[in-house]
Amino acid sequence: MSADIKKWFILDTLFVIVFGTLLHFVYDWSGNNDVVGIFGAINESTWEHLKLLFWPAFIFSIIEYIYIGKNFNNYVTAKCISLYLGVILIVVLFYTYTGIIGYNLLFLDIAIFIISVLISQYLGYKIINQNKDFGKSVNVISLIFIVVLAFAFIHFTFYPPEIPLFENPEK
């Protein structure tokens, strides 16, 4: 079973990197379609770039659950931790390096996305591979946290707060 998990997580990681990259462009390609904007970046704010990791990882997690996830007691909790770690890493790494040098560089932004995907996916893989049973209540809480984050991405696409995380630097 460990080999199966490894194959799925490699596929998951590649899926998130490839489709996350495409999601950077789909909103423009769609002619600024609001439904597409839920999943793709509608501007250059840091928040919008978090969707590039979240949505592909979330969608692949659902597919993965159907095939192997239901065999593990800790699947939902592992995915919750992985999703949150990925978006938190992007925020922390981006604001750390831009705070130090005073501006952003495209190649570092891309590297941060890939590094965040790799680290978050690896941690999810390690947690699932342990198959530790956190209990049903922890899995339910984890699922609630995932749903809350999904709704936050939807809501803040249309109603972003006026704080730097949500501001489009291209304005």
Average pLDDT over residues 61-77: 94
Is residue 171 a part of any domain in this protein?
A: no
Which range of residues forms the domain containing residue 20? 2-166
Question: What pLDDT does 2 receive?
Answer: 66
Residue 144 lies inside a defined structural domain of this protein: yes
Helix, strand or coil for residue 151?
Answer: helix
Position 168 scores a pLDDT of 87
Q: What's CA 96's distance to the chain center, in Å? A: 19
Answer yes or no: is 112 within a domain: yes
* Full-model pTM: 0.93
Note the pLDDT of residue 1.
Answer: 54
- Residue scoring higher pLDDT (128 or 131): 128
Q: Where are the alpha helices (DSSP H) in 102-135?
A: 106-130
What is the per-residue pLDDT across 80-91, written as a single tens digit (0 to 9) for each? 999 999 999 999
Across all residues in the chain, what is the average pLDDT?
Answer: 94
Percent of the chain with pLDDT over 70: 97
- What does the alpha-carbon distance between residue 17 and residue 29 come to, in Å, rounded to a whole number? 19
In total, how many domains does the chain have? 1
pLDDT exceeds 80 at position 3 = no
